[in-house]
Amino acid sequence: MMTKKKDMLRALAFITGALLVIGFVLWESGTLPLVGYEAIIVVCFPICVICLFLWWMAREHGEDIPFIGY
C-alpha cells in the first residue's frame, strides 16, 4: 500500500509538533538548557507549520502539493 503525500505530511507535522512539546517539557523541568530548546524551535517549528499548511490544503484528487505563493 502506497502512502499518500498527505499522510506523510500529517505524520511529519505530528512528529515535529511532538518534538516541540517534548522540548518544552524538558526545558521547563530543567533537563534541557535554553539553547537546546531554542535549537529545537528553530528547526521544528517551520517544518511543522509548513507541513500543517500543506496537509490542510492537499486535495484528495489531483496534485497533493499546492502552490504556496501569493
In a domain, 28, yes or no: yes
In a domain, 9, yes or no: yes
Question: Quick one: average pLDDT of 9-16?
Answer: 91
Number of structural domains (the chain) is 1
Range of 30's domain?
5-47
In a domain, 31, yes or no: yes
Q: What is the pLDDT of residue 7?
A: 85
Average pLDDT, the chain: 83
Give the separation between CA 26 and CA 22, rounded to whole angstroms.
6
Give the separation between CA 69 and CA 59, rounded to whole angstroms.
17
In a domain, 67, yes or no: no
Quote the Cα angle for 3-19-26, to 5°. Answer: 160
Give the separation between CA 24 and CA 2, rounded to whole angstroms.
34
In a domain, 36, yes or no: yes
Q: pTM of the prediction?
A: 0.75
- Nearest CA to 32 out of 43, 22, 18 is that of 22
